[in-house]
Structure 1
Amino acid sequence: MICDGEIALDEPALITAKAKIVTMESVIDDISTYTRRCLGCNMIYGYQEWQDGLHNFDDHVLLSLELCLYLRHSLQNHVSVSRAIDTLEGLQGVKYPNRDTILHGYCHFEALTDTGYIYSCVNCGYHPPVVIMDLHKQGVFSMSVSDLKEPPSEFRGEVDIEDFWKSVNLEMIGRGFVPSRTKNPFAVQPSYSRWAPWIGHKTRMDHTVLNTEFAKVATAKVTSAEAQMMNVSEDRLVDELMKQKVGVVRNLCKACNIDSKGSRMDLISRLRAEMQNRQSYDKMFQKIWGASGGWSVILCPHGVVYSIKFNLRAESPRDFADLLLSWKHIPNEEPQHWAQE
């Protein structure tokens, strides 16, 4: 319970005298940060005064609002946070803090920001008649299939998108109070029954959307749980091998106990022949594709993303069907780059 009225706060308690203020021009060291406790309810209050032009991430790193807005515009123009900071570091000749720390601080800022929803294509509006569906394989993350619990028997693939993304916001806010994600009580864990895509509220039908990835498990008829996850054709895996550098292909040959001498095409030919071995196939998938299924994305012909789904398992047409069936108006045409066989 929070006290009503004006209650006196306790004397400031020092947290650290080594905090940093990160700005567009420099990094200011040796900043002292404090907390104060309410004498009535014992609520702890920290510094968070945006009118001073600062955003306090975790009492150790404070970002200027100008830097936060710069990072937002960088992302909107397809420039990653790490590259944006690299640019500032080279321009100003100043050593900036760890990139992950700045990224988490920026996400903390966005989670606390009330942003108006104006995201749509100026030509297509909120309901594009033609969309393009594609998979971004670079969006994979390491995850063991055994970590995913079976959903409740009554679960039919309906997920509350508002509830899910509020919980993601809460996790981002919680990062400012704990030293690591493992200690974050608000951390969102992958789950079949509570894992929603992102679809703008003016594009989707309502707050209930579909995610039927659990059905991928029910329909798979293989004995190995890891093999279920890696339900990707050899041709697609070879296509990904062709995009890798020689060093990556050579190391993969060594990991599969294959002769690593010869040209790039020789190595790929040997790897393809070795794919008949399930264990080797699994190693290649894990190295090239990753453990999760990447991002299923729906965008309009002008490049504006309307839906994105973070797949827990290897991509299939089911993922795009879930997204489209959650839309208020299904597009007339849906070209897809390629679907899983």
Structure 2
Amino acid sequence: MKAIRCKTYGPPSMLVLEDVANLKPGKREVLVNVKACGVNFPDTLIIQGLYQFKPQLPFTPGSDVSGVVKAVGEEIEQLHVGDEVFGFVAHGAMAEEVLIPANACFPKPPQMDFPIAASFMMAYGTSFHALKDRAKLQKGETLLVLGASGGVGLAAVELGKRMGAHVIAAASSDEKLELCRQYGADETINYSTEDLKSTIKALTHKKGVDVIYDPVGGDYSESAFRGMAWNGRYLVVGFASGHIPKLPLNLPLLKGASVVGVFWGGFAMGQPKENMRNTKILMQWYAEGKLRPHIDKLYELKDAPKALKAMMQRKVKGKLVIDVRHEI
């Protein structure tokens, strides 16, 4: 089979497409013919050796995946050859085949096409876990989403509105913020042209925001935290800016606020039953037309390095997807 391979840590241009050995499932694994693979910002970090875990070289990047079951492990009863599925892996999805742990592989709803399925789990799973389980977002609270036009950010905007919050979307351009408004943002902040802290205070009539969803990190984190309301919750989701910020600890003290880590992958693998409950809710909302993932562009498998480069250059609104349907 063909796969994108990372043989040495570095930029996307160092990735290669080559033939590798076919895979065989273990007892609790599902072998899937890949139809589509979502591109996520952590993929750009993993290939550079900058993520919190480093796969052994050489490896295949890619986490979000959808496809058709080719074979199942001997202990698996809930999935069968020919089933259309979606799921996630730590790495390995940018290929024609992938092995998915049984507790991370789900039947694909018939009305959900393969690219949508491959763009869904990490973005919506992360954001729903963050807002529901970690922030315990309540109806009527104010939610600020940084990096709001990206994959997880746009999902947070859409879910926050669905959960009854007043949503403020912050992004780096008016074009990106227009997309956020289409997904439910009540108000927007262009932090390339507006001061983040003072604009938060103005929009909330000096009260501040109850929950901050931050997948960006970098220079905006402290300014956003200074716009936090009493008893606020600051969700640390990721560091797409490439810079891990330092936060003065007097700020959580003075605001009675919490700094809350969000690691959906750890949650999904460590608490599969709770993750399954969340997934069923998200699937129901999608089936009811209440969620509509935004795919910015499709790429062929051979062009996966171009997709990762676009992700690193902050050119993406919503999700990018590697379309493998015509290459197997």
TM bucket normalised to smaller: under 0.3
TM superposition score normalised by structure 2: 0.24
TM-score (normalizing by structure 1): 0.23
- Structure number with higher strand proportion: 2
